Structure 1
Amino acid sequence: MAVLFIKAFTLTLLGLLPMVNPPTTATLLLGLTKGMPAQQVSEQINKTAVCLFITLCITFFAGTSVLSFFGLTLPSLRLAGGLVISVIGFRMLFPSPAGKQNAQVSGTIAFVPLTIPSLCGPGTMALVLSGAVQIAELSPHISRLPLWTGMVAAFAALSLISWGVLKMATPVCRFMGESGIDALTRIMGFLLICMGMQFGITAVRDVVAGF
């Protein structure tokens, strides 16, 4: 059982870490929290780590059932995620004073967009769902418990790693200064738009391939 636990933990962590990509979310955090009090930024980072862990667990244990219940497919998930990312990127590329004030007051960036779709995007969800399906298809004599606990432990490790990387964003923010953060925000906005378009292209390609 210990071998199964270690194997599930290692494969899950190594497989999801490049998909989660916390440094990219750290740069997004810098842009979205420009001018936000340090305490509020810290609260958002803490909430983001918790949201990431909960989202990964829900996706793993109930993701397939939820998609089936609502009649959703992975291409639709990718397309929706791409649209969300594109809208956020457009707002970062062309910021408005009113938009900045609303972002600071509402404090709703922990779940969207930091957790979904930045840390836990369609690709990450698809990989987690794939792991859940593979475990479900294993031979009945193989114990599922160490595999489940191994993956959940990997989700916790990913959340902890993401929390540490996001915490480093604040010192970087002080080092870069206001003009540096503004420039980085616009660059990240453009890159997010590109990412959103890529998600959309991938979704359309998957649909066409299905036909």
Structure 2
Amino acid sequence: MNPLLEHALSVFMAFFAIMNPVANTAVFLGLTNDTNKIEQRKIATRSLIITFLVILLFAVLGKTIFHLFGISLPALRITGGILVFLIGYHMLQGANSKLHTAKESFDTDIAVSPLAVPLLAGPGTIATAMNYSATGGWLEIVITVFTFLALCFITFFCFIYSSKILAYVGKNGLGMVTRLMGLILAVIGVQMLIEGLNAAIHISPFTG
């Protein structure tokens, strides 16, 4: 398989699993159930624009952030792998991870919080974006950004048709999707952790 196509598919599956549009549709409907369709569309649009801009920032400036704070790529992969695994572990049990759950009051715009941050652009999503962007050059960054943009459009339509989707999927179907995405995330997290540990061992001054 073409390396760039493989990169795009890996990025899409990772983002799809961690954002979990179907499960987050239930959260969106719960937060906007007392608003009309026009307002729901506005909230969905604002939340996903903010989400995309947050991920775009970390994807493009990932390497700059590394140099600024003296962070190595293995350190990001190890930390990101742990975060992604924990999110996947909680999802495997049919629950949302606390890393992607907001406890703030809804006095502020719900499109900003909890929808955009931390539900869609949480620590795991940011770590995943930085991990995939930092592993290559500008072409990999562009692929990562556009892949995430495509997922934002998918999530937007899931939000807009949230009531119909949830009526079709049902509670059992929603739980099954959440656990499946959790399994994929847990595996991705372990893979990131293995790659990070392997790279850290090779650059360690104690290895000869």
SS in 2 for 1:209: helix
Higher relative CO (Cα under 8 Å, sequence separation at least 6) belongs to 1
CA root-mean-square deviation: 4.0
- Using structure 1 for the length normalisation, give the TM-score: 0.62
Q: Percent identity?
A: 20
Partner of 2:75: 76
- 1:87 paired to 2:86: yes
SS in 1 for 2:26: coil
> Once the two structures are superposed, what CA deviation does each residue of 1:168-202 show, in whole Å capped at 9, x if it has no partner?
43454442111100111122222211211111011
1:38 and 1:124, CA in 2 relative to 1: closer, same or farther beyond 3 A?
farther
- 1:20 paired to 2:28: no
1:121 and 1:75, CA in 2 relative to 1: closer, same or farther beyond 3 A?
same
Unpaired segments ≥5 residues, structure 2: 33-39, 105-112
> Once the two structures are superposed, what CA deviation does each residue of 1:31-53 show, in whole Å capped at 9, x if it has no partner?
34535426658646753443334
- 1:163 paired to 2:152: yes
- 1:126 paired to 2:135: yes
1:28 and 1:176, CA in 2 relative to 1: closer, same or farther beyond 3 A?
same
Give the number of the structure whose alpha-carbon radius of gyration is greater.
1
> Equivalents in 2 of 1:98, 1:77: separation in Å?
20
Unpaired segments ≥5 residues, structure 1: 1-12, 133-150
> Equivalents in 2 of 1:201, 1:82: separation in Å?
8
Partner of 2:62: 63
1:50 and 1:16, CA in 2 relative to 1: closer, same or farther beyond 3 A?
farther
1:121 and 1:175, CA in 2 relative to 1: closer, same or farther beyond 3 A?
farther
Q: How does 1:166-177 map to 2 (within 5 A)?
A: 166-169=155-158, 170=162, 172-177=165-170
Give 1:55's aligned amino acid: I
Higher helix share: 1
Partner of 1:9: none
- Using structure 2 for the length normalisation, give the TM-score: 0.63
